[in-house]
Structure 1
């Protein structure tokens, strides 16, 4: 549930909105299966049994660091981590849009935003070497008003720098922007940037995630629910 009642949230989101920014993985696109395949390529190379994709899905929004920790039990600073991370990213780059797909309702939501003369963009921690090819494969890159990747700004989310970069590129005041994401870092970054925030609860959230504690303005269970607050 959102942190406030529907009646008190509605005016905040219905304030003049000219730009809607989205996180990528777990918000616009379900990339979990392709990322899990890359992880399991690394495991197979080490003669380890593949990790069930459903066990990796909740970690997808945590990127390479979270997926590697879940599948191999190591993280930054541990022996072999950087080599494993580079191998994982290489596997992913070679097959990053085999099974990835837009979440149901995303295409209609983006079309409705465009039809209302608003713009939309992407702000993700995914490196640019993956963001661009994935968006092109899904037919989204040319439609986005801006695309800010994890290595575009000086610092990634939860720092507000990527969202501030998007606002600058789109020449849009923070008060006219909404940011939608599926991870606490998204909401933290959005609030720090001064934009209104929405949790995409249809993404990779696990049962232990308490989205009410994230401090977002709204929680949506389907992409198209966002449209009610833009009318």
Structure 2
């Protein structure tokens, strides 16, 4: 796929925002309710992008059969909603990247599996993210990642062909979704990638060490187009 990138879509947790402190705190509160110890730093890093299920499964080992998955998730969401932005921060370099996209008139948006009500609560803490020209959440449609439909929907909102969109995410199913949507999938290696993960095997278009790396790529693209 050699078409130029004309729009950029981002995952949220582990790509734009480091939400691990607050999500881990919510998970640890649930675990404590059932006499389980807190998550390790490695468990937090490897599982935050997998949400409540990923964090709680890591904490419990396997969720005991006498516990209800739905109830555990509701407990997690309750704790998280109450303290949604105590320790969350925007990743270094993201503001610079978003400013570049805006200055170059490159549309950008957010496509996250985070539920809509939590996304709506969180984004106002980061006004720069409210400038997104498309925000698609895990429950915006009937289907969520890794199905490609939410990405296709987001590209339609941006008014850019899906084949000219890049999708930046930090877990394998982000790349699965990007490939299924025929988008340029790039791994945000600054995100929640655990030691057991192998992003080189995720069939991504590339792995970005920093957000600024995307700026360099887009600059090279512009130079190449200008020389044609």
2:151 matches 1:163: yes
Tell me the matched-pair count.
Answer: 219
Alpha-carbon RMSD: 1.8
2:210 matches 1:222: yes
CA distance in 2, matches of 1:55, 1:188: 23
**CA pair 49-117 structure 1, distance change in 2 beyond 3 A:** same
Q: Where does residue 6 of structure 1 map in the other structure? A: none
2:26 matches 1:38: yes
Q: After superposing the two structures, state which structure 1 stretch, 168-177 or 191-200, moved more.
A: 168-177
CA contact (8 A) 2:43 2:55 kept: no
Q: Deviations over 1:76-123 (max 9, x none)?
A: 986322111100111001111111011110111111111111111000
Task: Give TM-score scaled by structure 2 length.
Answer: 0.90
CA contact (8 A) 1:187 1:197 kept: yes
**CA pair 120-105 structure 1, distance change in 2 beyond 3 A:** same
CA contact (8 A) 2:169 2:186 kept: yes
Task: Give TM-score scaled by structure 1 length.
Answer: 0.89
**CA pair 112-134 structure 1, distance change in 2 beyond 3 A:** same
Q: After superposing the two structures, state which structure 1 stretch, 150-159 or 53-62, moved more.
A: 53-62
Q: Where does residue 7 of structure 1 map in the other structure? A: none
CA distance in 2, matches of 1:95, 1:89: 10
CA contact (8 A) 2:36 2:59 kept: no
CA contact (8 A) 2:148 2:177 kept: yes
**CA pair 215-76 structure 1, distance change in 2 beyond 3 A:** farther
Q: Where does residue 101 of structure 1 map in the other structure? A: 89
